[in-house]
Amino acid sequence: MIRLRAWRPPLTLSLYIGRRFLGAVVAMQAGLTAIGALFDFLDLLRQSADKPQATFWRMLALEVLRVPWLGMQILPFAVLLGGIFAFWRLTRSSELVVARATGTSVWQFLAVPVAGAALIGVLATTAGSPISAIMFARAEVLYSTYLGVDSGPLSLQGGQLWLRQADDAGGKGGIAILHADAVHLHGKVLTTGHITVLRLTAQTTLQERIEAARGQLEPGGWRLESARILTPDGEPRAVSALRIPTTLTVGRVQESFASPSALSFWALPGFIRLLRRSGFSATQHELAFQSLLALPLLCATMVLVAAGFSMRPSRRGGAIQMIGAGVGCGFLLFMLSEVAAQLGKSGALPVGLAAWAPAAAGLMLALALLLHLEDG
């Protein structure tokens, strides 16, 4: 009777490959982040050339705050390039060739690197994301302050505002739908031009419509000036001032229009619910949340892609071409993720599909390459 060998890689070999892989990924992450930060810093210096308040040291501080966010964007490609380098070195020195000659399959000695990459993705999502979000939010404030570029909540300037909120005037469970033009933020004061409010019952029956020339968000309510109240069964009546209660604050409006990169993995679900209750679009924030969820799978996929393109024995030739193809495949996945993200933001693709499709496509490609490498 033939006894099947247990599917378990030698512990020493697994740890050795894992250490080589982790060292290459850490080195690649540091190198790529440094290069990206350098180019980003040079771009900041270019933008600050005609702004005396944007000194060299302030731009340097801004760039330091951006580094964790930049590292989060680079992480999957650091895993890919670090994996390609580590596996190529092991193949070139014939260490993997000897390991496979002893009967160890490619799936066995890739178990530790794949698990390690997935763990790196989990740590980046759960622990790295909060740090990145806090520092990126501060960087956005500095960017807007010293470079004078509207960003984040300041994108409301001169724009329109739509929101939906609870409203007791329409009966228990009633809602109010508000639309405002010419929205401006002056410090902590939000003012609007023409503003329209539809007050509905819980059964979405129109109770009244309010048209006002100006509006201002105050603590606890909206103050409307030069308003006209129209009801379905009554004559229009004019009032010089009117107040509509609200739980919305200027801070919440600012948070609602903040970049998804300024919100951590743990904060995103709450903000998505807030956006939906207020009538704002939550597509970008949902996409950011799903992308963070998919990050561990994407990192693990990059390990398999790296192995598929870098473990070709040197005696067969074409190793450099295969490594180049692996790098090209990584950039192709990057382009695919960017295209999917844009389609997801536009609503052409479901958010979940847009976030998970690149990782799933890369995984299928990697599995096909490794099956070909292992079986023939």
pLDDT tier for residue 177 given thresholds of 50, 70 and 90: confident
For residue 256, what pLDDT band results from cuts at 50, 70 and 90? low
Residue type, 208: E
* Tokens, residue 75: 């992480």
Tokens 């944007």, located at residue: 54
pLDDT at 14: 78
Cα 7 to Cα 100: distance, rounded to the nearest angstrom: 14
In this structure, are residues 212 and 236 in contact, taking their beta carbons and an 8 Å threshold?
Answer: no
Q: Residue 17's pLDDT is what? A: 86
Question: At residue 121, what are phi and psi to the nearest 5 degrees?
Answer: -65, -40
DSSP state of 316: G
pLDDT in tens, 285-300: 899 999 999 999 999 9
- Indicate the range of 105-109, 226-230, 264-268 predicted with least confidence: 105-109
Query: How far apart, in whole angstroms, are the C-alpha atoms of residue 169 and residue 216?
Result: 20
Phi-psi category of residue 94: left, alpha or beta, with phi > 0 → left and psi -120 to 50 → alpha: left
* Rounded Cα distance, 356 and 351, in Å: 9
DSSP state letter for 314:
G
CATH class as words, domain 157-258: mainly beta
Q: Which residues are registered as beta bridge partners of 251? A: none
DSSP 119-173: HHHHHIIIIIHHHHHHHHHHHHHHHHHHH----GGGGGTTEEEEEEEE-GGGSTT
Verdict on whether the full-model pTM lies above 0.85: no
Q: At residue 143, does pLDDT exceed 80? A: yes
Identify whether the C-beta of residue 163 lies closer than 8 Å to the C-beta of residue 170. Answer: no
Reported for 188-197, long-range contacts at CB under 8 A and 24+ positions apart, including other chains, are 188/250, 188/251, 189/216, 189/217, 189/250, 190/156, 190/216, 190/217, 190/250, 190/253, 191/215, 191/216, 191/217, 192/161, 192/216, 195/222, 195/224, 197/222, 197/224, 197/244
**Lowest-pLDDT choice from 81-95, 140-154, 265-279, 320-334:** 140-154
205-240 burial, b if ≥16 CB within 10 A, otherwise e?
eebbbbbbebbebeeeebbbeebebeeeeeeeeeee
Give the lowest-confidence range in 31-45, 174-188, 258-272.
174-188
162 pLDDT band, cuts 50/70/90, is confident
Could you read off the pLDDT of 70-121 as tens digits, one per residue? 999 999 999 999 999 898 888 887 777 777 667 677 777 788 899 999 999 9
Alpha carbons 376 and 367: distance in angstroms, whole number: 14
- Residues of the chain with pLDDT > 90, as a percent, come to 29
The pLDDT value given to residue 282? 80
CA distance 325 to 88: 13
Q: How far apart are CA 200 and CA 51, in angstroms?
A: 50
Mean pLDDT of the chain: 82
- The domain ranges of the chain are 11-150+282-375, 157-258
- Joined tokens for residue 155: 């994108």
What is the gyration radius of the CA atoms in the chain, in angstroms? 27
- Give whichever of 56-60, 190-194, 319-323, 365-369 has the largest mean pLDDT: 56-60
